[in-house]
Chains A and B, each alone.
Chain A
């Protein structure tokens, strides 16, 4: 097993474990911390794929900005104790079965997908580098890029509508 493979397995287990702990933790602050760990593990994956720019952006935007927002919300709502209401056991069971079925079907379907055996470009790909990313974004994908400005504008107007004092 090469170093990259060991890294891959380590990061994958870390990401999955973190994600499960996010759901299982009773304390919301712990959930947020586990989520940060998941994001770091995913950023590690990006680095393994030689996409340093994506890895850094992922850490800055998700682990940095969004997680701080989460913590603020938890603080404002004063959820630091185990405030989660007791859930119905049947509901839990139904949710578990439904989610498990979806996972089973997806795993069974994708297990023999046509991509089996085609490995990712480890270490060598230049897709995630800032130069090629910028070039793609401003040449091939310039139309969706520009159109997304409408999305941000509408989100901004929406935030003003909801936040403005009557």
Chain B
């Protein structure tokens, strides 16, 4: 609750600073300070300090699980600001403060979708997340590709929102309430209204999370959007959508699990397959990362499929590991001119520190031991095996993780073993922040308790 309101206020502050403050450095400082304040407020809320006393029963609830996730999202946002906030100037200097405002509004949406107790709030949250994203996708107004991506994203997004509304309506018809706690599917488990609604919600959430048969917008949109904003929507927003996906199907539709669990497994397998296999054939690193985000979505789906305590911990770890590593790679990519694999040729000679950090991020995304990505994948597969009955899914996920090594390692190969003179303009602050994030990724790989203990203490 603290974060929701303060983040909305920060958005308004940013709105005003767009015409009151001309200096971009000041705007950036306000944004970063605000994010740190949000993090402190959220941690305080975890230990019982609430700034506002509002009765949100039946609409929003913030338990430990949700608050830990929100903390991860805020930390990821802080990392994002520290690494790439400067590059937002390149998109358009005039609208610099507005971009911050939109990002803070998206954070409000993230809080809503992760703490929803009522389908109404879920819908509002998804919309608050999506609408600023449509704008950010098209923020590079002179670039035709960006325009195309924004229009495509907007039209497809509206369509899936329509599906979601229809689903919510049908569930309301079956249950007579929007509140998740009051749902009672056990009475008649094969009620056609509830199942049709649940399926429509499944499809619309799968669209928002770019799960396989509904992933076609993802590469075009991620490729067309300015790289700074691709970084945000491929990581923090995606993790948040997955979190709400998880909560929707594990808390709200638990009783309907026999109806959806098998199909969730099929969706996960399909997503893993399409994401990984298509990523192999990409020439642009940005597009490869778009497909890799689909592939990682397949892994996160495993948590929704497994429905257990380990899946919960795994999802948090996965969100952190995936977000930090991807934001790191994207932050380097925004500073590059050439987005192909060849653009990375020989980076190690010019920027050994940056190359080392990228290597750690890539190892984490590919799931190599001693990095956060390995343990995240480990938790997911363990959860699937414990859920029982679907060993094929665990084996398939492992095989697909092995495939992913091929396209991830092409970046490392380009940096270390190919001749070239790739270079980026990187300040010392940037380099050391990047290194700190890389160390964080390794630390999470050695001590996952840093996150999971938050759930209990």
Structural contact, A154 and B102, CB atoms closer than 8 A: yes
Write the nearest CB–CB distance from A147 to chain B, whole angstroms.
6
Cα of A114 to Cα of B191 in the assembled complex, Å: 7
Structural contact, A154 and B141, CB atoms closer than 8 A: no
List 23 interface pairs A-B (beta carbons < 8 Å), by A numbering: A106-B196, A114-B191, A115-B173, A115-B193, A143-B54, A143-B59, A143-B60, A144-B124, A147-B128, A150-B105, A150-B108, A151-B124, A151-B128, A154-B11, A157-B15, A157-B101, A157-B132, A158-B132, A159-B135, A162-B138, A162-B139, A166-B92, A166-B141
Cβ of A155 < 8 Å from any Cβ of B? yes
Write the nearest CB–CB distance from A133 to chain B, whole angstroms.
15
Structural contact, B59 and A161, CB atoms closer than 8 A: no
Interface size on A, residues (CB 8 A): 25
B163's closest neighbor in chain A, by CB? A102
A113, A114, A150, A166 — most chain B CB neighbours (10 Å): A150
A residues in contact (CB < 8 Å) with B: 106, 109-110, 112-115, 141, 143-144, 147-148, 150-151, 153-155, 157-162, 164, 166
B56's closest neighbor in chain A, by CB? A143
| With contact pairs A109-B192, A110-B196 given, residues A158 and B120 touching in the complex (Cβ less than 8 Å) | no
| With contact pairs A147-B112, A157-B101, A157-B105 given, residues A162 and B135 touching in the complex (Cβ less than 8 Å) | yes
B104's closest neighbor in chain A, by CB? A154
Structural contact, A150 and B102, CB atoms closer than 8 A: no
B138's closest neighbor in chain A, by CB? A162
Cβ of B302 < 8 Å from any Cβ of A? no
Write the nearest CB–CB distance from A91 to chain B, whole angstroms.
14
Question: CB-CB contacts of B91-132 with A at 8 A, as 1s and 0s?
Answer: 010110011011001101100100000101100100110011
Structural contact, B193 and A110, CB atoms closer than 8 A: yes
* Residue in contact with B94 in the complex, picked from A115, A143, A150, A166, CB distance below 8 Å: A166
Cβ of B134 < 8 Å from any Cβ of A? yes
Structural contact, B196 and A109, CB atoms closer than 8 A: yes
Structural contact, B94 and A164, CB atoms closer than 8 A: yes
Closest 4 pairs (CB-CB, A-B): A158-B135, A154-B105, A109-B192, A113-B193
Cα of A155 to Cα of B11 in the assembled complex, Å: 12
| With contact pairs A160-B98, A161-B95 given, residues A153 and B11 touching in the complex (Cβ less than 8 Å) | yes
Structural contact, B192 and A110, CB atoms closer than 8 A: yes
Q: Determine the interface band of chain B, counting residues with CB < 8 A from chain A.
A: 35 or more
Write the nearest CB–CB distance from B236 to chain A, whole angstroms.
16
Cα of A148 to Cα of B121 in the assembled complex, Å: 9
Write the nearest CB–CB distance from A164 to chain B, whole angstroms.
7
* Residue in contact with B193 in the complex, picked from A114, A147, A159, CB distance below 8 Å: A114
Specify which chain A residues have a CB less than 8 angstroms from the CB of B138 in the assembled complex: 162
Specify which chain B residues have a CB less than 8 angstroms from the CB of A166 in the assembled complex: 92, 94, 141
Question: CB-CB contacts of B150-182 with A at 8 A, as 1s and 0s?
Answer: 000000000000000000001001100000000
Specify which chain A residues have a CB less than 8 angstroms from the CB of B105 in the assembled complex: 150, 153-154, 157
Specify which chain B residues have a CB less than 8 angstroms from the CB of A112 in the assembled complex: 192
Structural contact, A161 and B121, CB atoms closer than 8 A: no
Structural contact, A161 and B193, CB atoms closer than 8 A: no
Question: CB-CB contacts of B343-384 with A at 8 A, as 1s and 0s?
Answer: 000000000000000000000000000000000000000000
Cα of A160 to Cα of B132 in the assembled complex, Å: 11
| With contact pairs A144-B124, A158-B135 given, residues A114 and B59 touching in the complex (Cβ less than 8 Å) | no
Specify which chain B residues have a CB less than 8 angstroms from the CB of A153 in the assembled complex: 8, 11-12, 15, 105
Cβ of B53 < 8 Å from any Cβ of A? no
B132's closest neighbor in chain A, by CB? A154
B56, B128, B134, B139 — most chain A CB neighbours (10 Å): B128
B101's closest neighbor in chain A, by CB? A157
Structural contact, A157 and B98, CB atoms closer than 8 A: yes
